[in-house]
Structure 1
Amino acid sequence: MISIIIVNYNTEAYIKKCVKSIISNYELRKTEIIIVDNGSSNGKLEEVLSEYEGLNIIYLPENNGFGAGCNLGVKYATKEYLLFLNPDIIVTKNSIEYLLETITGDKNIGVCAGILLDENNKVLYSYNNFPDLKWEFKEAFGIGLKNTINKLTSREEIKKEIPFEVDWFHGACMLMRKDLFEEVGGFDENIFLYYEDVDIHKKIKGKGYKIVCIPKSKFYHYERSSVRESGFSKVYYYYMNKSKLYYHNIYSGKGKVLLIRLMFIYGSIFKFISLIFRPNKWIEIPNRIKQYLLTIGIHLNIIRNI
């Protein structure tokens, strides 16, 4: 009934726990687990997962991006539904069943997902409306962003475990119909990392399907495990900004893209100046300078690769 696809890139410290949680909380006879190793450099995946049988592990010689890894996994999938999981996801009891009940019970639902929690059971930001100029302004300048995210993660429906519609889910955990995935062409492989999830939901919603969150379906998530570094993460900020521009070039038009570029250039300058007047944050200045310069360079189209 369901093919679970996990793309791994140097996340062996997490993926064993992920696989164990799937096996412990879902009937394996109903599923297949497909793991795509995206050119990991440590070569320990097979060793780490040696105690588990029946896993379909596909090795790639290089990292072609999250979306490309997922697309390859789908080519090996034989089930009707696709559950994409990050390797740092922990499945809980009945979480997969709740999603399957939802998507099989309504043919108008194209994608559904549960709530992502951190280790302290705090609801994580994992869904939103499609990004518009108002959202990009908040991200660029940091003004009102936390309040907006807090509103998203403290919705009354979550407390009452009532399903609700959104525009898109974080690619860390989402269930969709395989035939629909193939109909929209899968993930855009021009996007190496980030925004590939927003893009595919945009295509699916454009087909008239609903995107539904199921609050009683809960998963734990260790965020950004594959790009995690102490302090400044060049990979994160580079691909987040590059993918953002790619997405808006497709869906927002040249005029709005220019405004977005300007917002992130001036927003980075604004954030730096604000930081100077906050002595308790001065320890962050070296990493913040790297972040802001990288962001400005990308939006000025000076930095084209890392």
Structure 2
Amino acid sequence: MYDVVVSIVLYNSDAETVKNAIVSVLKSPLKLKVYLVDNSLHDSLRVLADIDKENIEYIHIGKNIGFGSAHNLAIRKSRNETNYNLILNGDVYFDSTVLPDIFDYMQKHVHIGQLGVKTLYPDGSLQSSCKMLPTPFDLFARRFIPKPLHGLFKKRMMRYEMQHRSLDDIMNIPNLSGCFMFMRAGVLEEVGGFDENIFMYMEDVDLTRRIHSKYDTIYYPQVAIYHEFAKGSYKSPLLLKYHIKSAIYYFNKWGWFFDKERSKINKALS
């Protein structure tokens, strides 16, 4: 059994960036396995498995099946290999103390189904890695309202991003960043993993929300990771299309303006 199985989904990814993520994982003293699930048409990224042939398994899909679907493949393959899965973006890196720390914390707190950590930009500034459950307005305002008008909604946006709370405190949060999702394998199996109807974007919100309904989903700021965070949907019309499509699916699933569970959860965090 591995202490943790890590899955990283690739799609025409920068090999050097992903290498940094893999090295961050493997320098941990824990017993680890890494699945690289490649949605790229060609398998040029197969060379990344040479970093550690014993503990890295490369899976070439040959077509883009989506973020959640690719991670689900690795989750299913690891079902009998570990008690913990880490869903990791290929543009994340961290030091060797991070995984042992959160592994020990999860071992001691069996009510936790998922854990996220403090997330920083490469320059050391804080990234928004824990949020309330989104309303349609929250997503629209963050993405489409012009910057000169942001001040009109500053208080609401700060609250949505939990900035009214100390981000140095451990908190039970329903919406954790998808770049680093540390989860119990049994919990993942219980809730069914990622919703494969979501191609990309919002799949992390949906999954964390489902876990949160049964277990604690903890923001744990005692350790930190670095995330380059390209904000692809701000630059690519195609990625923006995926983002909008996934948001529509999410709100059709959970409710647009009348979502009693969201109202109850968010009120408790206010």
- Relative to the length of structure 2, the TM-score reads 0.82
**Aligned match of 1:9:** 11
The gaps in structure 2 that reach 5 residues or longer are 260-270
Whole-angstrom distance in 1 between the partners of 2:164 and 2:108: 24
Answering whether residue 69 of structure 2 is matched by residue 65 of structure 1, we say: no
Match of 2:189 among 182, 205, 210: 182
1:3 Cα deviation (Å)? 0.7
**Contact 2:136 2:251 (C-alpha < 8 Å) held by counterparts:** no
> 1:196–1:252: structure 2 CA closer, same or farther, 3 Å change rule?
same
CA contact (8 A) 1:16 1:49 kept: no
CA distance in 2, matches of 1:184, 1:51: 33
The answer on whether the counterparts of 2:26 and 2:32 sit within 8 Å (CA) in structure 1 is no
Q: Residue type of the partner of 1:63?
A: N
Aligned: 1:173 with 2:176: no
Rate the CA distance shift 1:136–1:63 in 2: closer, same or farther, 3 A.
closer
Cα distance in 2 between the residues matched to 1:155 and 1:34: 37
Distance 2:46 2:137 in 1: 45
Deviation of 1:162 after TM superposition, in Å, equals 3.0
Query: Which letter does structure 2 place at the counterpart of 1:215?
Result: P
Match of 1:243 among 225, 235, 246: 246
Segment drifting more, 130-139 vs 237-246: 130-139
Give the aligned CA root-mean-square deviation in angstroms.
Answer: 2.4
**1:49, distance to aligned residue in structure 2 (A):** 4.2
| 8 Å contact from structure 1 (residues 157, 215) kept in 2 | no
What SS is found at the alignment partner of 2:60?
strand
Distance 1:155 1:22, change over 3 A: farther
Deviations 1:175-213 (A, max 9, x none): 111111111111000100000011111211222x11111
How many residues are aligned here? 247
Q: Percent identity?
A: 26
| Residue equivalent to 1:162 | 169
Preserved contact between residue 102 and residue 112 of structure 1 (Cα < 8 Å): no
- Larger radius of gyration between Structure 1 and Structure 2: 1
Gaps of 5+ in 1: 258-306
Structure with more of its chain in helix, by fraction: 1
Residue of 119, 132, 135 corresponding to 1:132: 135
Q: Tell me the distance in 1 between the aligned counterparts of 2:22 and 2:172.
A: 29
* Structure 1 position 149, deviation (Å): 5.3
Spell out the pairing of 1:198-209 with structure 2 (5 A cutoff).
Answer: 198-207=205-214, 209=215
1:107-141 deviations in Å (ceiling 9; x for gaps): 22111011111111011122211112552453353
Other-structure match for 1:98? 101
- Write the distance in 2 (CA, Å) between the matches of 1:236 and 1:126: 20
Q: Distance in 2 between matches of 1:18 and 1:7?
A: 12
Q: Once the 2 structures are TM-superposed, how far is the Cα of residue 155 of structure 1 from its aligned partner?
A: 6.2
Contact in 2 for aligned 1:129/1:168 (Cα 8 Å)? yes
Structure 2 match to 1:74: 75
* TM-score between the two structures when normalised by the length of structure 1: 0.73
